[in-house]
Amino acid sequence: MLERESSVCPRFFRVVHQHLLTNFLDMDARPPILGIFGPAGEGKTFQVERSIEDCQTEILWINAGDLESDNAGQPARVIVDTLRQASAEIRAGRPVAVVLHDIDTTLGEWKDNTGTVNHQHVLAELMHFADRPNNSRFGGVRVPVLVTGNDAKKMYEPLTRARRMALFHWIPTASEKVAVLRRMLAPVTAQDVSVALVETYPAYPVAFFADLVGLAKEELSRRHPLARIKDMRQLLTPDVRERIVSTVSQGGLLTGEELMGLARTAAEQRQGSLENFLKDASQ
């Protein structure tokens, strides 16, 4: 069932699920590469990985840093070798997808890397794969590839054209943020303040609310008497650590008012840091 309760937005999950489905069925209706682009902090990385895992599919990651090397041709070999490995797994009946996060930071058309040999080689391999995903060079079996980034306009246009890369622009709606936030806050409060939070901070990304959950858990853990100890060596004792952490999971809940207060403090600190940064940068 696609729209089951999950920390992933159903609309996001459907796109990832469809990409895996059509590629594992070796259908040419969809390109082998899915590019998911959108503003930073809106949950692209988390939701891609969770969606793939929810489809009982393993992930092979290509680190963006692996696409930088002093050795000519090495990054392109990383692409080819990873696709061949994934292809072998799929041939053996084990579903695997290849994921590359922040692709625009490494393969985007930036001033300093557009013309490098490695940059050109990697783009060439990806376009070759997009045109011939069943080619023996890549293992002979079609592999679903998913990439994320913030700005699709920075990408080499021939790679992102139709039939090579399917593009999905992700900006969650207010109702989608509320649905995700409601599930995120369930472990730390019994009161539903999701709508109030999203309405109060409409311009803030999902990552801000994820940080809020972390702050709530910190606040709950601080309420345990043992959290007052100053000798951090004591915290490495399994019994002490477990007793503090259990405060969060066993009956420790914040009120809606307390959560709104934490959000207000976090927003003020964030805004203050940004204003100071901009002030320093302008001097």
- Mean of pLDDT values over 62-82: 80
d(Cα 81, Cα 86) in Å, to the nearest integer? 9
Residues 256 and 269 in one domain: yes
Number of Cβ within a 10 Å radius of residue 200: 13
Higher pLDDT, 33 or 65: 33
Q: Which residue has the higher pLDDT, 98 or 121?
A: 98
pLDDT in tens, 163-222: 999 999 999 999 999 999 998 898 889 899 999 999 999 999 999 999 999 999 888 878
| Residue 115 and residue 152 in one domain | yes
Query: Which of 169, 196, 223 finishes a domain?
Result: 169
Give all strands (DSSP E) within 51-156, no chain letters. 58-61, 96-100, 145-149
Please give the pLDDT value at position 167: 96
132 domain-assigned = yes
Segment 147-176 shows an average pLDDT of 93
Do 129 and 202 belong to one domain? no
Average pLDDT over residues 35-40: 95
pLDDT reported for residue 250: 57
**Which region among 24-28, 32-36, 63-67, 87-91 has the lowest average model confidence (pLDDT)?**
63-67
Does residue 202 form part of some domain?
yes
Write a three-state SS string for 37-56. ECCCCCCHHHHHHHHHHHCC
Model confidence at 276: pLDDT above 70: no
Please indicate, yes or no, whether residues 117 and 179 belong to a single structural domain of this protein.
Answer: no
263, pLDDT greater than 70: yes
Which of 135, 169, 203 is at the close of a domain?
Answer: 169
Structure confidence at residue 242 (pLDDT): 80
User: Is residue 5 a part of any domain in this protein?
Assistant: no
With the C-alpha atoms ordered 270, 275, 278, 283, is the resulting torsion angle positive or negative?
A: negative
Residues 213, 210: Cα–Cα separation, whole Å? 5
Give the end of a domain, one of 169, 187, 203. 169
* Neighbouring C-beta atoms of residue 156, cutoff 10 Å: 17
Considering the entire predicted model, what is its pTM? 0.83
Q: Are residues 251 and 271 in the same domain?
A: yes
CB-CB neighbours of 260 under 10 Å:
17
Give residue for tokens 């999902």. 206
Within this chain, do residues 158 and 246 fall inside the same structural domain, yes or no? no
**Cβ(263)–Cβ(228) under 8 Å?**
no
User: Which residues constitute the domain of residue 256?
Assistant: 174-282
Q: What is the CATH number of the domain that holds 113?
A: 3.40.50.300
The kind and range of the H/E element at 100 are: strand 96-100
Please indicate, yes or no, whether residues 105 and 67 belong to a single structural domain of this protein. yes
What pLDDT does 54 receive?
A: 96
Does 63 map to a domain?
A: yes
155 and 181 share one domain: no
- Look at 152 and 105; give whichever has higher pLDDT: 152
Q: How confident is the model at residue 149 (pLDDT cuts 50, 70, 90)?
A: very high
C-alpha–C-alpha distance, residues 34 and 25, integer Å:
16
Sole residue written with tokens 């692409």? 79
Report the distance separating Cα 180 and Cα 261, nearest Å. 20
Number of domains the chain is built from: 2
Q: Which two tokens stand for residue 230?
A: 């100053």
Q: pLDDT tens-digit profile of 215-253?
A: 998 888 787 777 778 888 887 888 877 877 776 555 568
* For the chain, percent of residues with pLDDT exceeding 70: 87
